[in-house]
A and B are shown apart, each in its own frame.
Chain A
């Protein structure tokens, strides 16, 4: 989760984030349910606070930050 948040802020800096789309494959060792659960908590106090997390199913081991929408 920290990697996801850092990856977003690396790209957009301080800009307020509206939505994040992540691709998670079935063998990525990251469960979408766990990601959703953690996201709101971990995003607090960061530019991702309040953003929507959209999880798209991927293939194999992929775990990728696909898209970021900034306001």
Chain B
């Protein structure tokens, strides 16, 4: 029996459902993607502290194992649900659907999804988010955007992290941004941050606020 049935179609369908539910509940979901150790959790801790007084914020944390990151986010002071994927290398739309049901964020919330540390697979799996945010540290090398073009093209903003370490690793920021724009085009926003020094967090918070309150396309 010849079928030709797409197995990934289910994720695409569920992501569309998530997107509709988010629009209905006025949730702005942001999907943070980056290598393990890029600084996703540290940036989220700083961002949560910065935003929580102004708008309701919640987080879905993705890791293969442990709830270490969820505990850190709890410390930053917002509701969080940990998703453990076991052997899975990326979050998918059905995990987000279940996570949102557990989180039950109030209307108007910004929901940050911290994806599993991985620059490859998360680019392929729509979660129903408002935007993808690619997180990359200065320790990862200027040519990262060239080596992982799919995620840089899919993202709306590049958050460069650990700028306090740039001098120690001879990171050429100009070259890195040139590569990123070469791959992703001029529309890619770039924000430079150091969670350790508290730098760039205000700008990132502004970006989030602007993107969260932008018109939802019909």
Across-interface contacts of B10 in A (CB, < 8 A): 3
Number of contact residues on A: which range applies?
Answer: 10 to 19
CB contact list, B1-30 vs A, under 8 A: 1-8, 10
- Say whether B124 contacts A27, CB under 8 Å: yes
- Say whether B7 contacts A29, CB under 8 Å: no
**In the assembly, what is the distance between CA of A70 and CA of B8, in Å?**
23
Output the least CB separation between A38 and chain B (Å): 9
CB contact list, A43-71 vs B, under 8 A: 61-70
From B7, B89, B124, B125, A64 is in contact (CB under 8 Å) with: B7
**In the assembly, what is the distance between CA of A14 and CA of B5, in Å?**
19
Q: A-B pairs with CB below 8 Å: how many?
A: 44
Central interface residue in B2, B3, B121, B125, by most chain A CB within 10 Å: B3
CB contact list, A2-16 vs B, under 8 A: 3-4, 7, 11-12
**In the assembly, what is the distance between CA of A64 and CA of B158, in Å?**
33
From A12, A22, A62, A67, B2 is in contact (CB under 8 Å) with: A67
B90 contacts chain A at the CB level, 8 A cutoff? yes
Across-interface contacts of A4 in B (CB, < 8 A): 7
Given known A3-B10, A27-B124, A29-B125, contact A69–B1 (CB-CB < 8 A):
yes
> B150 — nearest CB in chain A belongs to which residue?
A27
- Say whether A29 contacts B89, CB under 8 Å: yes
- Say whether A67 contacts B3, CB under 8 Å: yes
B120 contacts chain A at the CB level, 8 A cutoff? yes
**In the assembly, what is the distance between CA of A7 and CA of B89, in Å?**
22
From B1, B7, B120, A63 is in contact (CB under 8 Å) with: B7
- Say whether B7 contacts A3, CB under 8 Å: yes
Across-interface contacts of B2 in A (CB, < 8 A): 66-67
**In the assembly, what is the distance between CA of A29 and CA of B2, in Å?**
23
Across-interface contacts of A7 in B (CB, < 8 A): 3, 5, 7
- Say whether B3 contacts A11, CB under 8 Å: yes
> B88 — nearest CB in chain A belongs to which residue?
A29
Central interface residue in B7, B90, B124, by most chain A CB within 10 Å: B7
Give residues in B with beta carbon < 8 Å to A.
1-8, 10, 89-90, 120-121, 124-125
3 tightest A-B contacts by CB?
Answer: A29-B121, A65-B5, A63-B7
- Name 28 A/B residue pairs within 8 A (Cβ), A-sorted: A3-B7, A3-B10, A4-B7, A7-B3, A11-B1, A11-B3, A11-B5, A12-B1, A27-B124, A29-B90, A29-B120, A61-B8, A62-B6, A62-B8, A63-B6, A63-B7, A63-B8, A64-B4, A64-B5, A64-B6, A64-B7, A65-B3, A65-B4, A66-B2, A66-B4, A67-B1, A68-B1, A68-B3
